[in-house]
Chain A
Amino acid sequence: MEEPRIGVYVCHCGTNIAGTVDVEEVAKYAETLPHVVVSRHYPYTCSDPGQELIKNDIKELGVNRVVVASCSPRLHEKTFQGVLREAGLNPYLFQMANIREHCSWLHEPGPEVTEKAKRMVRAAVNRVSHHIPLEIRSVPIFPATLVIGGGIAGMQAAWEIANSNHMVYLVEREPSIGGHMAQFDKTFPTLDCAACILTPKMTEVARHPFIRILTYSEVVEISGYVGNFRVKIRRKPRYVDEGKCIGCLICQEKCPWTALSEFDAGTRKRKAIYTPFAQAVPNIPVIDTEHCAYFLKGTCRACEKFCDANAINFEQSELIFELDIGNIIIATGFDTFDAFSIPQYGYGRYPNVFTSLEFERLSSPTGPTEGHIILADGRQPDSVAIVHCVGSRDKNYHEYCSRVCCMHALKYSHLLKEKTNAQVYQMYIDMRCFGKGYEEFYDRIQSEGINFIRGKVAKVSDEAIAEEEKGKLIVLVEDTLLGNMLRVPVDMVILCIALEPRKDANEVAQLFHLGRSADGFFLERHPKLDPVATMSEGILIAGCCQGPKDIPDSVAQASAAAARALAMIARGKIEVPAITASIDETKCSGCKICNLLCPYNAIFFDDEAKISRINQVLCQGCGVCAAACPSGAITHNYFTAEEITAEIEGVLA
């Protein structure tokens, strides 16, 4: 190995590091360390001139190892590895000392912070002198993309990719694509109807020659790695032959058995054989075996009798098949907060307390009342209270803001005024109208004669204490601007329930190795600079599964995820990280311990040579085999015994 000539670059990061750490002293100290030929400090090392500085030193001073003491490698390791590569050095002859996230930001200011930074730089210098060049290999990828979730985000992502003539599989677990957006009536702030903008998109996606829709299906297993995933999909039986069904829906008409409609948020019933809504795509019904008399009791089969197309097939079984996939976009959306969790708001106890999703259905022309906003007894409401932040911005439930409720609450006010001319009360904590055209919409609604009461609702009750409260729901709320308690008698209460992670978000996270943020939504790789990627390469996220967002933001994020997938498809290959494990054949005793430990089945036993070998394409570089090898025959590249030992000695010296 050539004599190490190490360049050290201590970054100020403006005042982020230099405000707490004496960067000049750290740089001066680094000069005294073995093999260091140059040590500098610079205001922003990641900037263009900062990068040039490193490149110049590599060229002029013959620097052959680089240490940058700045932020987290999760942020800029790739940036600086690129600098080395451009200057003709192997990118693995580099080490970062994270003196910002793990030092200047993490400790109270004081001389020990600078001391700690010095230790971190010393450890990095010690370590980098043991680094060896690692080979970067590239492997071809599968061009097909898997999109999980057929809501607006999933459809948008699928459509964007398919327009480049690359195959997309769109998996949706419900019988139809469309997602939550299909349930909405109007959309804020433009008040165009959700169905009018969504259903043409659903048809377009379904008819697209490069999109294959897999409804009523779920991903059950995934193996492989970025660019080369193998995904196992389970298609639940519809008990209706998709090839034969003509979508006449006579079966739905004749079926005598019912259940609450999920699509209508339980505001009306559907049949046991049903399509979720009239515009469903595909327009093919499914049999709900939990409510179908044939599946429960073995008799009925009315649907079969009336089906002229002979499409009903009670013998249908689930289908399991596998797909070769390059990229995966997860757009699994959100669930809504369970309004029963806040009993003082009376949901479920008073029939005229509705959730926002129920109100959407009530107001929709395709809903149970054909768009007429009526109370449980069929009357029109004279007064309505809209309660904001039900489950959001509340430490007892969800700390976060659900971001869409203020705006849909304003939309409800408008619809109520327009359809019923009722008195409308908005009970809000803060109005958050942040999007394009949102503040203008808020202004417009204010001018429509809506009452705004700033305060969090304490209770909804039916206990009247005055004549005008009789037969009404009384909303108890503190008007925090006037500083007094109010009792507002109304006919109807709408609870703006929070958006929350899907109930099975944990299982999905485990299946795809995703992280979750404290609020339970899927964790993006970087909150600002990489909101669509995840910690798992090749797995992207879009829409509300990453956090509550409105339709324009979901669509934008979906398009961004599609662009990311397309970038890889266009390259046709990916670089496989060089951090893998390798076996020294002369040391391997053939004990096979590593074979069983490998989570990717990347290690196989060579029966002829009586030793284990590692498939370098399958190896993901976790190092579990190297840690277990009793002969010390396995090297975990970039985390070798020499490198880690040097780092340990560096921090402790």
Chain B
Amino acid sequence: MSFEPKIVGFLCNWCSYAGADLAGVSRMKCAPNVHIIRTMCSGGLSPFFILKALEAGADGVLVCGCSPGDCHYREGNYKAIRRISLLKKVLEQLGIERERVQLHWVCASCGEEFVNVVNKITAEIKELGPLQAGQKVVI
């Protein structure tokens, strides 16, 4: 059987979660590999949860927030950009490919964008293969 990655998707409540809802309401179809967890804001997502997901068996993590300038909490998404770029550097030092954690902007009317993002990250992580036991994060 081909490798089906498990991906955790942290979606902000205001834009991205609504964008994913819109994709569903519009009956767009995407790969079932991303498991969505609602957060209030991409800036309120502690890197701890991203590491926790990788530790708990995720092969990748998707973080989605409002487009720059559109954050419901003014600038949480900018904080997410900084946190996640720093986290990626740490992950690389742990031997984990930076592509396994991705940050994308999905607005509340971006149903199609959400589907594209999900299909993209699913394909890319399929390409990378499973997160190896040696790479496993332990926190």
Which A residues fall within an 8 A CB radius of B?
72-74, 98, 100-103, 105-108, 112-113, 116, 119-120, 123, 506, 509-510, 513, 515-518, 523, 535-536, 579, 597, 599, 620-624, 626-628, 636, 639, 641, 644-645, 647-649, 651-653
The answer, yes or no, to whether B18 is at the interface (CB within 8 Å) is yes
Residues of A within 8 A of B30 (CB): 106-107
Residues of B within 8 A of A74 (CB): 17-18, 21
Q: How far does the Cβ of A202 sit from chain B's closest Cβ, in whole Å?
A: 34
Residues of B within 8 A of A622 (CB): 40-41, 43-44, 72-73, 76
A620 and B43 within 8 A (CB): no
9 contacts between A and B (CB under 8 A): A74-B21, A506-B69, A509-B70, A515-B107, A518-B110, A621-B40, A626-B44, A626-B46, A645-B49
Complex Cα distance, B6 from A74, in Å, reads: 25
A513 and B40 within 8 A (CB): no
Q: Mark B59-79, 1 if CB is under 8 A from A, else 0.
A: 000000000011011111001
Q: Mark B69-108, 1 if CB is under 8 A from A, else 0.
A: 1101111100100010000000000000000000000011
B70 and A639 within 8 A (CB): no
Complex Cα distance, B40 from A621, in Å, reads: 7
Please judge, given known A-B contacts A123-B37, A536-B72, whether A515 and B108 are in contact too, CB under 8 Å.
Answer: yes
Complex Cα distance, B79 from A103, in Å, reads: 30
A535 and B14 within 8 A (CB): yes
Q: How far does the Cβ of A76 sit from chain B's closest Cβ, in whole Å?
A: 12
Interface residues of B in 9-55 (CB under 8 A from A): 14-15, 17-18, 20-21, 23-25, 27-32, 35-41, 43-49, 52-53
The answer, yes or no, to whether B8 is at the interface (CB within 8 Å) is yes
B38 and A73 within 8 A (CB): yes
Complex Cα distance, B2 from A112, in Å, reads: 14
Residues of B within 8 A of A653 (CB): 56-57
Complex Cα distance, B49 from A649, in Å, reads: 11
Residues of B within 8 A of A639 (CB): 39-40, 44
Contact of A651 among B8, B24, B31, B83 (CB under 8 A): B8
A641 and B79 within 8 A (CB): no
Complex Cα distance, B14 from A267, in Å, reads: 44
The answer, yes or no, to whether B125 is at the interface (CB within 8 Å) is no
Complex Cα distance, B6 from A260, in Å, reads: 62
B76 and A652 within 8 A (CB): no
Q: How far does the Cβ of A344 sit from chain B's closest Cβ, in whole Å?
A: 30
Q: How far does the Cβ of A75 sit from chain B's closest Cβ, in whole Å?
A: 8
Contact of B109 among A100, A523, A644 (CB under 8 A): A523
The answer, yes or no, to whether B117 is at the interface (CB within 8 Å) is no
B18 and A535 within 8 A (CB): yes
Q: How far does the Cβ of A543 sit from chain B's closest Cβ, in whole Å?
A: 19
Please judge, given known A-B contacts A622-B73, A651-B8, whether A101 and B24 are in contact too, CB under 8 Å.
Answer: yes
Q: How far does the Cβ of B70 sit from chain A's closest Cβ, in whole Å?
A: 7
The answer, yes or no, to whether B121 is at the interface (CB within 8 Å) is no
Q: How far does the Cβ of A68 sit from chain B's closest Cβ, in whole Å?
A: 14
Residues of A within 8 A of B8 (CB): 648, 651-652
B32 and A113 within 8 A (CB): yes
A515 and B109 within 8 A (CB): yes
Q: How far does the Cβ of A507 sit from chain B's closest Cβ, in whole Å?
A: 10
Please judge, given known A-B contacts A101-B25, A517-B109, A636-B44, whether A648 and B70 are in contact too, CB under 8 Å.
Answer: no
B37 and A620 within 8 A (CB): no
Residues of A within 8 A of B21 (CB): 72, 74, 98, 101-102
A535 and B36 within 8 A (CB): no
Please judge, given known A-B contacts A105-B27, A535-B18, A647-B37, whether A624 and B6 are in contact too, CB under 8 Å.
Answer: no
B44 and A112 within 8 A (CB): no
Q: How far does the Cβ of A635 sit from chain B's closest Cβ, in whole Å?
A: 11
Complex Cα distance, B58 from A258, in Å, reads: 68
Complex Cα distance, B29 from A645, in Å, reads: 28
Closest 3 CB pairs of A and B: A623-B44, A101-B24, A651-B35
